[in-house]
Structure 1
Amino acid sequence: MPHPLTDNLEQLARPVARAAHLEVRSVEVLAHRIPLTVVVRVQRADGTDVHLDECAAVSGPLAEALEASGLLTMAYVLEVSSPGIGEDLLSDREFTSFRGFPVEVLLRRADGAETSHRGHLLSRDEQVVQLNARGRILRLPRGEVLRVRLTEAPSDS
């Protein structure tokens, strides 16, 4: 469950990142850490990785905005970083890089039902995401795909 302040922190971070010509990919509040840690992941609009200097260009102004907002009244650590490659595949680059890797694809059908399929990622284009599910090629309509996530081991579809 996300921390109750996550949405407010993301709203605060977006204009700061935009001023540095970056986009906020995600905001995570790690309340189990002492002190509490706010992780803001930023990227360029084209989805390419950011450099340390770009993270620093967001970190200072974002720290000032956080202090001025009064959202966090306890001690905290602010981390601004690149999202890197996560479990969910989002960009064309990630789909190319992880071709052949085991994935799970979550779909929402037209009737609203959610289903998932597992297999090895073959490709993604404008119409479909293709998997090899135990030797069977699945062509999953891209418009129905909610999420494509890396998995640890291949499994039945």
Structure 2
Amino acid sequence: MPHPLLPELETLSTQVASTQAYELCGIQLLTHMSPMTLEVQIRHSSGADVSLDDCAQFSGVLGAALETSELLNEAYVLEISSPGIGEQLATDRDFQTFRGFPVEVTHRDLDDAENRFDGLLLERDDESLQINIRGRIKRIPRNQVIGVRLTSPGA
């Protein structure tokens, strides 16, 4: 169950990100850590790579907004990063951005068995997801795809 403050933290983070020409990609509040940790993932609205300096700059701006909002009234660590290896692809933009990258596709076949394929992401359209597996194109109906995540080459 998500933390009750998460929706408000997500709204604030999204607003701050948009004023800085970023998009919010993900947010988690890890309360089992001491101090608790707020993990925020961003990307440039333009699609450009996010640098360490970008993360540091955004951390300062978001940190100030969090202090002003008083949403978190105990000690916390703020971690800013960008999506990377191991991240799930979800949006059309993700699938465009990472075309040609190595991915792991989890899907259900016609017998309702779960399968995994590793290959290079080719395309996702309204009907199917296409990946290149060692030179062969595999077309998987979208309604059978459970998840697609980035992997490292040769993984």
TM-score (norm 2): 0.72
How much has 1:115 moved relative to structure 2?
7.2
Q: Which residue of 1 aligns with 2:39?
A: 39
1:40-59 to 2 correspondences below 5 Å: 40-59=40-59
CA deviations 1:96-124 (Å, max 9, x no partner) are 221xx5x23347xxxxxx87431222433
- The amino acid of 1:118's aligned partner reads R
RMSD between superposed Cα atoms in Å: 3.1
How much has 1:138 moved relative to structure 2?
4.1
Q: 2:101 aligns with which of 93, 97, 101?
A: 97
Please, which runs of 5 or more residues in structure 1 have no aligned partner? Answer: 108-113, 152-157
C-alpha distance in 2 between matches for 1:149 and 1:48: 20
Query: Percent identity over the alignment?
Result: 42
> For structure 1, which segment, 24-33 or 42-51, has the greater mean C-alpha deviation from structure 2 after superposition?
42-51
Q: 1:131 to 1:84 in 2, by over 3 A?
A: closer
C-alpha distance in 2 between matches for 1:115 and 1:43: 35
How much has 1:44 moved relative to structure 2?
1.0
Q: Which residue of 2 aligns with 1:6?
A: 6
Q: Which residue of 2 aligns with 1:60?
A: 60
C-alpha distance in 2 between matches for 1:65 and 1:142: 40
C-alpha distance in 2 between matches for 1:34 and 1:44: 30
- The amino acid of 2:119's aligned partner reads L
Please, which runs of 5 or more residues in structure 2 have no aligned partner? Answer: none
1:2-151 to 2 correspondences below 5 Å: 2-89=2-89, 90-98=94-102, 103-106=104-107, 116-127=114-125, 128-131=128-131, 138-142=138-142, 145=145, 147-149=147-149
Report if aligned partners of 1:20, 1:54 keep a CA contact under 8 Å in 2.
no
Report if aligned partners of 1:104, 1:150 keep a CA contact under 8 Å in 2.
no
Q: 1:115 to 1:68 in 2, by over 3 A?
A: farther
Aligned residue pairs: how many?
142
C-alpha distance in 2 between matches for 1:26 and 1:65: 18
Q: 1:132 to 1:91 in 2, by over 3 A?
A: closer
3-state SS in 2 of match to 1:3: coil
C-alpha distance in 2 between matches for 1:48 and 1:116: 35
How much has 1:26 moved relative to structure 2?
0.6
Q: Which residue of 2 aligns with 1:154?
A: none
Report if aligned partners of 2:16, 2:62 keep a CA contact under 8 Å in 1.
yes
- The amino acid of 2:123's aligned partner reads D
